[in-house]
Structures are given as structure tokens and as C-alpha cells.
Structure 1
Amino acid sequence: MASIKDVAAAAGVSVATVSRVLNDHPSVSDDARTRVQAAVETLGYRPNAVARSLRTHETRTLGLVISDVVNPYFAHLARSVEEEARELGYSVIIGNADERPDLQDHHVRTLLDRRIDGLLVSPTDGGSPLMLNAATNGTPMVFVDRWIAGVDVPVVRADGRAAVHDLVAHLHALGHRRLAIIAGPAATTTGSERVESFRAAMSEYGLPLPDAYIGQGDFQAESGRRATERFLDLAEPPEVVFAADNLMALGALDAIRARGLRIPDDIALAAFDDIPWFVHTDPAITVISQPTAELGRAAVRALVDRVEGRAAASVTLPARLVVRRSCGETGEPGEPSAVRSPAARPSPPQRSMS
């Protein structure tokens, strides 16, 4: 492997001149710069990134700790993060927390030890002392998708509250009255926000939400299956199951099919977070879709701003309801999925004053 001394000898310049060219220093003549660049290309020289980071205190590397790499939503998010970072001249090291706070802290600690320039995190909970310490001790950090309340770190996320309201309005307009939810972990901001939004929308439409219709999940498929089995065992099962995550929706789908029930004839199903194969199920699943790629790109831009000393603000993008066929919607087979916008939202029923 060629060394910097080999490049200097081939170009007929000093090692210091090669170093200045590699670091884009303006004091090098055009002729010397051209000869050094030609020698680098001919010899296939690659600078030692570790040595460079010790000199400049920069690694051009970002860390990303995601909640669950198996979840298609987070896989898509990670891909968009990597693509945007590459466009901006950064590499990304990814750690999978697997929805476990201990694994999350392991990855955060490892990434900080590797002298990354900045850290993107989708927190698994809100109480990690390591995370709080990193956020308050000057590590450039951005929360993506989830966040820790009260921590002064930019947050890039989707706001699903309006879309959850749209879903309840849509289900009410279809004639459904008994709606159940499989909620995510209350320790996560997304888990608590989605169930609170669902409860508020149900109340606005005068629909009861008994405790028996609230299943506690953990953003994993098995918890969606167990919660749905409990719903189906009730003396009066719900007409609709809304899974507040795509993996829990897959678990719900398994439980429904295991009972020999048909969607939507026997029970309807809706999900938060779209995944590619939801459109290929029979029937296609009605979902709340997040702008995943846009979130990943915005998170990287915010983090690079912080790394490079610029101000970075939080970013909130809207989620949207994508209407398909799993809740009893009508339409011709093969018809493109309809999207209900907030402007098309039905009004809540007027309550009697008597």
C-alpha cells in the first residue's frame, strides 16, 4: 500500500506539500496540486482516516442508534440517513437497540468511544443517564422519530395526531363503533402519543374506549398477536383493531387468520406505519403513513448543522391516512389507494343538548 512519502516522491514535492493538498490548503500552487493529485490517483493512495481524525478532531462519521433494525420503518429510515450523510461527505455507523435500553446505551457508549462527530438516536425510553449526559455535555445530537421530553436536543419526527384523528373519523363514517387499539410502550413518546391521540379522537366522536379495548404492545409482532387474541376472546369483540405500529399489525393479522376470520368481513384492521407489503395483502391494509425518507434526510441535515457549528431547529412533518380496503372501504379491485386529507375529514356528530 502506497504511503504519503511515496506520493511525495512520485510528485516531486515534500510530504508537507502532499499533506496540504490532501487537506485542501490554499497555499499550494496549481502545478504542485495537479502533480500530487495525479500521483495519488496513480498509486491508489488512501489517507489514514484515524490519523487524520487525531489531527483534526474530526472523523467525518455519524452514529445512528435505531430502535429495531428488523422493523421495516427503521430500516427505511436508516437507509435514507446513510444516503443523505454520504451526499454531505459523512459515513454512518449503525447500532440496533432491539427496543432494549441496555443495548441502546451500549451502542451510544461504543460510538462515543469511536470519536464520532455526531449522534442520531431514536430513544427506546426516556430515562437513560448515559443519553442525558451525552446530550448535556456537548455531543452534537439529534433525536429522530422519538425523543426524550425536557432534553434540549433538536427532534426530527412525524406528527401523527391529525392522521389518527382522520383514521377514527374514517372508521366512524364507515359505521364502525367498537374500535380497539394495540398501543406501543408508554415509556416511548410515540407509544404514548398515539394512544392519547386515539383516545381523544374517540371521545370527540362520542365513541367509548373501554380498558378491554386497549391492548399493551411493545412494537413487536408477538405482542400484536397476543393483544388481538385477547380482543377476539371478549364476549363483544371490537369491530376494528388499530395497531399503533406495523410489526404489531402483522401480529394482529396472524391472530385473525389463525381464528379463520376474514378481513374486513369479520373484523377490520388498520395500522400505524406503512410497509411495502401492506399493499399486497388481501385486502390491502389501511394505514397511517409517515414520510420516512424525508425524516431521515432532515435528521442528517440537522445533525451536520450542529457538527459544523450552525444552529439546528427541530423539524415536524405530517403523517397521513392512506385508505385502502381492510376496514370495509368500497371501490373497484385494483383501484389506486385513496388518501384522505384533513380537508376531507368528516365532522364529528353533533351531540344533543337535552
Structure 2
Amino acid sequence: MNAAAAFAPPSPVGKPVRFGVIGCSSIVPRALLEPARYVEHSAVVAVANRTAAKAELMAEQYGIGTVHRTPAELLNDSEVDAVYIALSNDLHAEWIARAMKAGKHVLVEKPLCLHTEELDLIESALQEDGPSLLEGVMVRHHPWQDKLRTMITDHSFGRLRSVETSLCIPAKNGHKDNYRSRPEQGGGCFRDLGVYWLQFLQTLLGLEGADFQGQSSFDGPGGCDWTFQAQAKYPDGLRAAVLCSFERPYRCSHTLTFDDAVVSLNDCFRSNLGFYKMTLRIRRSGGLPAKAEFRPMNYYVNQLDYFCRIVRGMAVPVPFRESAERIRLLDSIYQSARQSRVK
């Protein structure tokens, strides 16, 4: 975050949103603790973890004032306004519901939950004028998505013909002792990375009406999908495809092919590591290459700032139906791939 001066969100009037952390996974510093230093209307005041020693170490390293013995104890803390849930995927639905019923706003790591039937549990905890809920798909909080959507809708380069996406991030230490290598906890690459693909398509094209398919050999640890391919076919003939993998060389990119140009975004996760410039590269048929550049931003800082503004009534929340639509598709594509493998 060495370019912090490039982004300084204005602080709303009033007290900061006070966060409690549930789960001390490795993503917590990058997704919340470090971004909170740049979002003045946020403060992390409490932490809880199954292993108390991890919570105590995180509290010491990041100056968190209160360590709770259990997540349930944290939810009873009147000094906590919102919780950040960083548990394994199979625990998301339960703790979202419990937190919201306790009157806490919720920022939860993606995916929102694992299975379609869990959506009912979450929805039952939602109330009009009640606590806010945001699924942490951090890439949606960057203007490059709006720019691409505009290129599509205003036909800047003619009709969009295809979208190719690669989300390949080699597993560090094979995700040993990590829920990502345990199917029963929602492990595998598609549940970890596929949500980004679906959010990307949802924003640019919508998901309704498309026919989705998925394939994997499920030959990763414990029978997890270590490489997963999925395709979407739209009624107008447009095709979109994604390659997700924990074993192939690093490559995270989107390539959009139009009638008159190819637009690409390389290293599309770069801004989750700090304040970086993102660039859309444009190759026009018979023309000189061009590009659309964005000032240095950090995905997680943008996300945290947006969430705090939702809590303070300064921003419009993301409708629950958007996350629900993605989860239904994520689960459906995953299950269809499993069934086809068995056959």
C-alpha cells in the first residue's frame, strides 16, 4: 500500500463503523485490517477465533483492543457495529444469520454461502431497515467494470462476440491445512474463484437466459476441483468461458472480443495487493493500440469505504438478489460438473 496518498476517502460525520472480526484467516489483514488504516470511518475493535492464540496474536499485531473467546461472545459485544466474517465457506450462512439477528451489519468473504438451500437461512435474517449485508467480491468496487459495460452497451467497437477469462492462482503449499483443500468445507478452485467470473458476467451482461456448463476431473486433494472450466452460452450467440485453477501457472485476465476490437485486462487481481494502476488494453482492427488507464486504487479499500457508507446510509446497498443469483449458479454449475464426472 505504498501509494496510499493516491486514495483518501472523505470521512463521514460521526463515529466510525466499529468492526469485529470472526475468523483469523490469512485474508483478514489484506481485506480489512490494512485497508482500515485508509478508511477513516472504520475501526477494528474486536476479534474472535476458534484458536485463541491466533486471535491474540492478530490483536497484538494490529492493535485490536478486545479478544473474545468465541464468535457468539463477539456478537454480544455492544461496542461492535459490524462483523467481518472470514471463516471457511461452509460456515458463512450460519454466522451471517446469527450476526444479523444480533443486530450486526455483515461483510462476509465470498462466496456468500455454499448451497442454494442456505440462501433461505440468510434471507430469513434480512429485515427492512435492518443490518446491511455485503458479500466481499472486491473487484466489483473498481471503475474498470463500469468502463467495460459502457463499451458493450454503447457499441463502441461493434457487437461483443466472446469473453474469455483465466483465473489461475497456484496453491501456496498446496493449500495444506486449508479449507480450500477440503470439499466438505467448500474447497476447490471454482467455489473460490468462480464467483468472480459470475460477478463479472452479471455486471457486464447479466446472467439470466444464459446456458451454463462446467467440467472438472476433481483430482485435487480430497477430491477437490484443482482445475475447473465453465462456459456460458447466451441466446444471441455470445459465448463466455472461464478457466479456474490452483495448479496452472498464474494468469488472471479477461479478454473481450468485439466486431472491431479486442479489449483485455491483464493481472485483474493486482489491485487487491495494494494501490495499483489498472489498464484496459484495446487492439482495434486496422488501428493503433489504445488503452484506458485508471488511477492507483486498492480493491479492498474501495470495498471497505463502500460498506461503511452503506452502514451510514450514504450509499445504496447491493441487492441481496444479486448475490443469491450468483450462489444459485455457482452451486448449479459445480453440481452439474460433479454429476457429469460420476457418469
One fold, TM greater than 0.5? no
Higher RCO, Cα 8 Å, sep 6+: 2
Structure of larger gyration radius: 1
**Bigger proportion of residues as helix:** 1
State TM-score, norm by structure 1: 0.36
**Bigger proportion of residues as strand:** 2
State TM-score, norm by structure 2: 0.37
